[in-house]
């Protein structure tokens, strides 16, 4: 299948496929005599795997590692479980960080009134005046 057909079937654009090739996430297929690259249909599933992994928060580097594990003949589900557990811990940490950011912004919004710019708690926080940050 040509790259345009692959892109359409996998729901990505052509540049995404080329980018995945450069990163080694998919292998470059052989070319025909006329120079067209003909991709095997299995690449569609691989690209969909990549996209679903991204939806779960995995980076392309992490996806590369996942693909390397699953491409080997002797990977274990335990390895994948450990990998996913680590990702879950990272996501939980990011959620805590975002919750802290939300709390600070909510606090600043409560303190913010119809004051001038010089007395605005939000501007003062951003300038590092409040909380000695």
Which pTM was predicted?
0.76
Burial class (CB in 10 A: 0-12, 13-18, 19+), 120: middle
pLDDT of residue 124: 81
CB of 44 closer than 8 Å to CB of 6: yes
Class of domain 1-75: mainly alpha
Distance in angstroms (rounded) separating the CA atoms of residues 23 and 93: 28
Nearest-angstrom CA–CA distance, 118 and 133: 18
For residue 49, the model assigns a pLDDT of 97
Domain boundaries, the chain: 1-75, 92-133
> Could you tell me how far CA 87 lies from the centroid of its own chain?
12
Per-residue pLDDT of the chain (133 residues; tens, 9 = 90+): 999 999 999 999 999 999 999 999 999 998 889 888 899 999 999 999 999 999 999 999 999 999 998 888 888 889 899 999 999 999 999 999 999 999 988 988 888 876 666 678 888 888 886 555 4
Token digits of residue 89: 């811990």
Cα 48 to chain centroid distance, Å, stands at 14
Which residues, at least 6 apart from 86, have a Cβ–Cβ distance to it below 8 Å? Answer: none
First to last CA, the chain: 56
C-alpha span between 38 and 1 (Å, rounded)? 5
């Amino acid at each position: 299948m040509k790259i345009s057909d692959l892109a359409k079937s996998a729901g990505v654009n052509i540049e995404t496929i080329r980018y995945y090739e450069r990163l080694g996430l998919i292998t470059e297929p052989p070319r025909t005599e006329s120079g067209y690259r003909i991709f095997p249909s299995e690449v569609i599933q691989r690209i969909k795997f990549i996209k679903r992994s991204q939806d779960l928060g995995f980076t392309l580097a992490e996806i590369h590692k996942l693909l390397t594990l699953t491409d080997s003949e002797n990977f274990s589900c335990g390895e994948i479980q450990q990998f996913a557990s680590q990702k879950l811990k990272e996501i939980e940490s990011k959620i805590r960080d975002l919750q802290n950011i939300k709390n600070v912004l909510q606090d600043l919004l409560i303190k913010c009134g119809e004051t001038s710019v010089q007395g605005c708690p939000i501007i003062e926080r951003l300038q590092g005046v409040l909380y000695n940050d």
